[in-house]
Amino acid sequence: MNRPAVRRIGVLTGGGDAPGLNAVIRAVVKTAVREYGMTVLGFENGFGGLIKNQVRELTENDVVGILPRGGTILGTTNRDNPFHYPVVKGNEKIFVDVSDRIFENVSIHGIEALVVIGGDGSLSIGKELYDKGLKVVGVPKTIDNDLSATDQTFGFDTALTTATEAIDKLHTTAESHHRVMVLEVMGRYAGWIALASGLAGGADVILIPEIPYNIDIVAEKINARSQERKKFSIIVVAEGAKPIGGEMVVNKRVEDSFDPVRLGGIGNVIAQQIESLTGKETRVTVLGHLQRGGSPTAYDRILATRYGTGAVNLLAEGKFGRMVCLKGQNIEDVPLEQAIGELHNVPVHGELVKVARQLGICLGD
């Protein structure tokens, strides 16, 4: 057994859940305990558990059977930012910095370092805690695949598979009824899920935030298909898609959240416009949180496991303030600030977009 730089570590899952979180937790616990003889404590419900001291030890027995399970055994939330924590004063809700509570709780439990499994919001908080003196390593999670310091986040492959299955199912009913089917998928400000599932499912139109669309061009595509005796069409639209010169459709705001904006509703907007422009019966499916649920794919299980083991290896080597990442085929690591810098958007002149265009898929421009 190697001598690790730290012996007692914490782990938490923050932000929206993604398939593969349990696979990371399992790999963290197994690697920490078996390889390094560490003790692992799991904080419940993201940073909320760190603030409120909701913690339990995670032994190898606690992670038996969780590899194929969706969700997270620790719970999560996309609220509870310790640097911007809501408290009610009188009739007013104000935001205060409660990060000192985290340092108290960490010291009560003798925790020397923390694994933060999260997207840009949770990793930004992890970076702030690191700057304040906590030894942190990050693991990149999100179905949106929008973190720039890694080639892929875990959770994306499962969401993509779910969206692809949905397109396959929509195809058969669209064909039978000679309808236009609009599928709205998640992805926030990035079009990865829409573009990749649209390609995998054989969509006719794919609309992504990175390429603002002209609805007349989309309608022309649908009409052109009708003239080619293709009486149905499939449109995949990312929740963040927007018309040229227009705005994204916001469904609601969650003020306590790291990013308060919740997108959603563009599918209905597109469907109404397409129905009136083409006269073709159009239906909408909003795939929503189905994309975040269920058992992770084999790819996500393996990636999540490699990330979990990689994160513990970093802690054991004393490499803090870093995030594990995928570069090509290899697990590497980068400073946390790189992980939370710019979002990783679909390159508009990249190969995937080019392939879509060469197949005749309409991207709305």
User: How many DSSP H helices and E strands does the chain contain?
Assistant: 12, 15
> Mind giving me the DSSP string for 298-355?
HHHHHHHHHHHHHHHHHHHHT--SEEEEEETTEEEEEEHHHHTSSB-PPPTTSHHHHH
CB of 246 to ligand F6P, least distance (A): 19
Residues 6+ apart with CB under 8 A from 132: 99, 103
Q: Which of 80, 120, 144, 300 is catalytic?
A: 144
292 forms part of the interface with ligand F6P (CB under 6 A): yes
Specify the DSSP element, H or E, that contains 185.
strand 180-185
Question: Residues 94 to 133: which contact ligand F6P by CB under 6 A?
Answer: 119
142 forms part of the interface with ligand F6P (CB under 6 A): yes
Q: Which residue number, 102 or 190, has a Cβ lying nearer to ligand F6P?
A: 190
In this structure, what is the dihedral angle of CA atoms 250, 124, 109, 79, given to the nearest 10 degrees? -10
Using the contact rule CB under 6 A, the part of the chain among 2-10, 54-62, 164-172, 180-188 near ligand F6P is: 180-188
CB of 39 to ligand F6P, least distance (A): 31
339 forms part of the interface with ligand F6P (CB under 6 A): no
Binding characters for ligand F6P, 215-254, by CB under 6 A (x = yes): ------------------------x--------------x
Tokens of 320: 């803090």
144 among known catalytic residues: yes
Q: Which residue number, 28 or 147, has a Cβ lying nearer to ligand F6P?
A: 147
Q: Is 234 helix (H, G, I), strand (E, B) or coil?
A: strand
16 forms part of the interface with ligand F6P (CB under 6 A): yes
CB of 47 to ligand F6P, least distance (A): 15
Q: Are 314 and 333 in contact (CB under 8 A)?
A: yes
Per CB under 6 A, residues contacting ligand F6P are 16, 78, 119, 142-144, 186-188, 239, 254, 262-263, 292
